[in-house]
Chain A
Amino acid sequence: MLDGLLDGYTRSILIFTGIHIIAAYSFYVPFKTGQVSLGQAGFMAVGAYAAGILTVKFGLPFPVGLLVGGLVTAVIGVCVGFPALRIKGIYLLLLTLAFAEIVQVVILTWEYTGGAQGFQGIPFNKYTLEYVYVIVVLLIIFFARLERSSLGRAMDSIHEDEAAAEVMGIDVVRVKLLAFGLGAFIAGLAGVLFAHHTTYVDQVSFSILLGIEILMFAVVGGCTTYWGPAVGAAVLTLLPELLRTLRDFLELVPLSWTDFFPMNRIYDFMYEFLDFENEKRLIVYGVILILMMIVRPQGLITRDTLRPLQFLQQRTGHV
C-alpha cells in the first residue's frame, strides 16, 4: 500500500518505531496495576518463536502466527503472573528479569528452532508496516477506552493502594493477572511482527537490554497516561536516527577549518560519535534518562500536558 511512497530505510525505521510502541504498551498494562516488568523482551521472544514455529515448520500463514503467537504468550504471561502476584517492587523486577533470562537459555539450547545458530528462514511479511500501525491504532483506541472504563479504574486503584482496592471489592488477584496476561499478549504481538520483519531471530534479538529499553520507553514517555509509552518509544527510537543525520551537516564543514591539529581530531571524534548504531544509541538513552530523572521524573507526557487537548474528548465520563 505504501510501497511507492517510502524508501526502504524510512520504512524500516517506521516499522521499528511501531514495534517499540507496541512493546512499550506491553509494559504499560501491567504497570497500570503497579507491576513493573523487565521481562517484556522475554515475552516478545516467546511470541516470535511460537509464531515462527507455526509459519516455518508448519507453513501456516502470517495472521495465524500473529494471533496464536500472541495467545501463547498470554498464557505464558499468566503463568509468570501467578508467582508475581505475591511480590512487589524490586523483587518483581528480579523475577521478571529471571524469566527473560530463562527464555534466553531455552532459545540458546533448543535445537528445534536452531539453538545458538538462531531461528532462520522466517518468512518475510511484506505488510509489516501496515500490520504494525493498525495494531498501534487499535491499542491506542483500547487504552483510551480503558482509561474511561471501570476496569481501567480498578487497575489504577490497585496501583495506588492495593489493600484499599481489595477492601473496596476489587478482585486484585484477577485484575493483576489479567493485566499481566494482556501485557504479555501485546509483547507477543510485537515479537511476532519483529521476527517476520527481520526473518531471523536469536537470543541476542531479545536480550535483557531490550527489556531495559522497553522500560525506558515507558519511563521517558511517562506512564500516567496512555500517550506516554507511545511518545517515549517514538522519541527514543527516532532520536538516534535524527542524530545520525547530524553527520551529514558535519560534512558541510569546509575542510580548511579542520585540517590542523586539534580540530581534525575533534572532527574525527564527532564524526565517529554521531554514528548511532546499535549499542551506541544506549549512550544517548543514558544521557536522556539521567536528564529526565532530574528535570521531569514523571515522564514527557502527563495529564497536565494533555489538558489543552481535552476538548477532543469532551465526553470522558463527565456528567
Chain B
Amino acid sequence: MSEAGNSISLRADKLTKRFGGFYALKDFDMDVAKGDIHAVIGPNGAGKTTFFNLVTGMLPADSGRITFEDEAIDDPRPSRRTMRGIARTFQNIRLFGQMTVLENVMLGRHCRAYLSLWKALRNTVLHRPLGEAEEEREMRGHALEILDFLGLSDERHAKATDLSHGKQRKLELARALATDPRLLLLDEPAAGMNPHETEELDDVICSVRDRGITIILVEHDMNLVMGISDRVTVLNFGTKIAEGAPKEIQDDPTVIEAYLGEDVSL
C-alpha cells in the first residue's frame, strides 16, 4: 500500500460467464482495495459464487480480465492462483473428511512448504527415519499457529467430519489461511451458524483483515455484512446494480427493491 497505484488488490474487468444462454455474470467490473473487507451480496443465483469460481480459476471466464495486484492472472490452474496468493473457502463445506483437523490445515500449507514435487518425494524417500524433515516441521508449526488463532487447537486430532458445523466452517477458513493468502474469498462463512458463532466469526474475519489480508465476502447474513464491510457490491442477475459503503447500500432504493424486498428495513 506504499504507492497510490498499488492500492488495488483485485480488479475484475468486464468479466462475463455464460452457461448456455444464461448469463451468470455479465460485464462485471469490480475493484477491491487492499486491506478492505469487500462484501458481495445479492439474491440466490445472482452470480456471486460464479464470480469466486472465475477468480480462483475453477471455471474459465468467457471474456473479461482479472488483475491481481496489478498483474493479470492468466494461468487457468487454480493451484497457480493459490500460489499467487488467492485463497477461498467453499459455501458447501469441502473439507477432506478422512483427514484430521491438523492434516487439513497442513495440506493447505503444502504449496508453501514444497515448491517442487521432487523435494516432497525426496523427503518422503530419503529423510532420516527418526525425526521429520524441516519442511514438515515448519508446516506443522504453522498449522498449529493457525489452529490456535482460530481456537481449534483442542480438536486438532479429531477427524474433520466429526466437528460441529460451525467448527467445520472455521476449519475451512484455517485451511485457506494456511496457504498464506493476500486475498481471501469467503463464500457464505456464516451459513448454518448460530448467532453466537456468527458473532465470533465477526471477530475472526476482522482479525484476519488486521493481519493484512484483503477479504471478499459473500454472505446472506446482513447484520454481519453491514457490520464489518468497508464496501459492498450488489449483484442481481449477473450484473452489478449498486456499489458503495454499507450505509449507502442500505439506503439505496434499487437495492432495497431488487434484493431485499420492499418492506424489509435494515
Residues of A whose CB lies within 8 Å of any CB of B are 142, 145-146, 149-154, 156-157, 160-161, 163-175, 178, 224, 315, 317-319
User: Could you tell me the dominant secondary structure of chain B's interface residues?
Assistant: helix
Additional A-B contacts beyond A151-B114, A163-B94, A164-B96 (6; CB < 8 A): A164-B94, A168-B87, A169-B83, A171-B77, A318-B157, A319-B140
Over the window 69-96 of chain B, the binary record of Cβ atoms lying under 8 Å from chain A Cβ atoms (1 yes, 0 no) is: 0000000011100110001101000111
The answer to whether B139 touches A150 (Cβ under 8 A) is yes
Interface residues on B, range: 35 or more
Minimum distance in angstroms from B4 CB to a CB of chain A? 31
**Inter-subunit contact B107/A153 (CB<8 Å):** yes
| CB-based contact A172/B124 at 8 Å | no
Inter-subunit contact A166/B79 (CB<8 Å): yes
Asked whether, in the complex, the Cβ of A168 is within 8 Å of the Cβ of B175, the reply is yes
Q: Which residue of A lies closest to B112 (CB)?
A: A169
Q: Does residue B241 face the partner (Cβ distance < 8 Å to A)?
A: no
16 A-B pairs, CB-CB below 8 angstroms? A142-B125, A145-B125, A149-B133, A150-B114, A153-B106, A153-B107, A160-B96, A160-B97, A166-B79, A167-B56, A168-B79, A170-B110, A171-B79, A175-B117, A178-B117, A317-B132
Residues of A within 8 Å of B95, CB to CB, are 164
Report Cα–Cα, A229/B130, bound state, in Å.
25
In the complex, what residues of B have CB within 8 A of residue A174's CB?
Answer: 117
Q: Quick one: closest B residue to A167, CB to CB?
A: B78
Contact of A152 among B88, B113, B124, B144 (CB under 8 A): B124
Grouping DSSP codes into helix (H, G, I), strand (E, B) and loop, the A interface class, with mixed when no group exceeds half, is helix
Task: Let me know if B117 and A319 touch, CB within 8 A.
Answer: no
B136 on interface, CB distance cutoff 8 Å = yes
- Judge whether B102 is part of the interface by a CB distance below 8 angstroms: yes
Chain B interfacial positions (CB closer than 8 Å to A)? 56, 58, 77-79, 82-83, 87-88, 90, 94-99, 102-103, 106-108, 110-114, 117, 120-121, 123-125, 127, 130, 132-133, 135-136, 139-140, 144, 156-157, 175-176, 179
Min CB–CB distance B158 → chain A (angstroms)? 13
**Chain B contacts of A318 at CB under 8 A?**
157
Q: Are A151 and B79 in contact (CB under 8 A)?
A: no
Contact A150 B113 (CB under 8 A): yes
Q: Which residues of B contact A151 (CB under 8 A)?
A: 114, 117, 120-121, 123-124
Contact at B144–A319, with CB atoms within 8 Å? yes
A161 to B108, CA, bound (A): 13
Q: Please state if A150 and B110 are interface contacts (CB–CB under 8 Å).
A: yes
Q: Which B residues are CB-close (under 8 A) to A172? A: 79
Residues of A within 8 Å of B156, CB to CB, are 319
A167 contacts B58, CB within 8 Å? Answer: yes
- Per CB-CB distance, the 3 closest pairs between chain A and chain B, nearest first, are A169-B111, A169-B82, A151-B120
For B58, B79, B90, B113, the residue with the greatest tally of chain A CB atoms inside 10 Å of its CB is B79
Q: In the complex where A150-B120, A151-B117, A178-B117 touch, is A156 in contact with B79 (Cβ < 8 A)? A: no
> When chains A and B are docked, how far (Å) is the Cα of A21 from the Cα of B121?
22
In the bound complex, residues from chain B placing their C-beta under 8 Å from that of A317 are 102-103, 132, 140
B113 contacts across to A, CB distance below 8 A = 150
Contact assessment for B82 and A150 in the assembled complex, using a CB-CB cutoff below 8 Å: no
CB–CB B107/A168 < 8 A: yes
Q: How far is the CB of A179 from chain B (nearest CB, A)?
A: 10
Most buried by A among B103, B123, B127, B144: B103
Question: Are A168 and B179 in contact (CB-based, < 8 A)?
Answer: yes
For B94, B102, B113, the residue with the greatest tally of chain A CB atoms inside 10 Å of its CB is: B94
Asked if B120 and A149 make an inter-chain contact with CB atoms under 8 angstroms apart, the answer reads yes
Contacts of A173 in B (CB 8 A): 77
In the complex formed, the residue of A with least CB distance to B111 is: A169
CB of A274, distance to nearest CB on chain B (Å): 41
Chain B's closest residue to A318 (CB) is B157
